[in-house]
Copies of this chain bind each other. A is one copy, B any other.
Amino acid sequence: MKTQHELGTRERIVRTTAQLMQRQGYEATGLKQISQEARATLGSVYHFFPGGKRELAVEAVRHGAAEFAEFLRVAFEQEDDPAAAMIACTRTLAKDLRESGWLDGCPVTTTALESTGRAPEIQQAAEEAYESWRALVREKLARAGFAEDVARELAHTVINLLEGAELSAQVSQSETPLEIAGRHLAVLIDSHRGGATRPASG
């Protein structure tokens, strides 16, 4: 049985890796730094992750993917209308980003970009992350009465614009790009209501 009064060593390593790679990227994050900040030793790191840094990065991406998926779930629960949900979503995203000192952007993107064409396992983990987020948007739209193909395409653009706007907000240290993105996503969603069954008044 694992110790329960505090996080297990393995979980501590994954969380630390995820946070460090979110802020610094894959290449700039060293195993020494990870083991130190996770209060573990290099021996423990290689015990739990024999695949080394690559395997660690895959786990970190999956952790970040689950984290952001939970964020989307919560945001989508609080607003019934998808368009309104987008605005709320970008607002919270902007607030969290600002409160982190503009350091915590997308937990996946930096590592993903550094890995394209060079570390297929990490790239695939990132792909699965994006797809899981798109699935959540798709379901949200489907529940609001959007046709399946319309929802699928909108889900792509919702996630992609969230990505781009968060990146832009982080680089410019401004909430503006996310705020604009929220409103434009609402407009885009509303302009596709035509082919869908009309949602109820809520």
Contacts and interface: CB of A to CB of B under 8 A. Distances in A.
Interface of A: 23-28, 101-103, 105, 109-110, 112-114, 116-118, 123, 126-127, 130, 153-154, 156-157, 159-165, 167-168, 170-172, 176-177, 180-181, 183-184, 187-188, 191-192
A123 B172 CA distance: 8
Contact of A113 (B113, B159, B177): B113
Nearest to A178: B160
Given A123-B171, A163-B164, A168-B163, A27 B156 contact: no
Contacts of A26: 27
A126 B127 CA distance: 25
Contact of A184 (B23, B153, B183): B153
Contacts of A160: 161, 164-165, 167-168, 177, 181
Secondary structure call for the A interface: helix
A114 B117 contact: no
B167 A159 contact: no
A144 to B, nearest CB: 17
A116 B191 CA distance: 35
Contacts of A170: 113, 116
A35 B54 CA distance: 27
Contact of A25 (B103, B113, B181, B188): B113
Contacts of A172: 127, 130
Contacts of A113: 25, 105, 109-110, 113, 167, 170
> What 4 A-B pairs come out closest when comparing CB atoms?
A164-B164, A27-B27, A160-B164, A163-B164
A165 B160 CA distance: 5
A172 B156 CA distance: 12
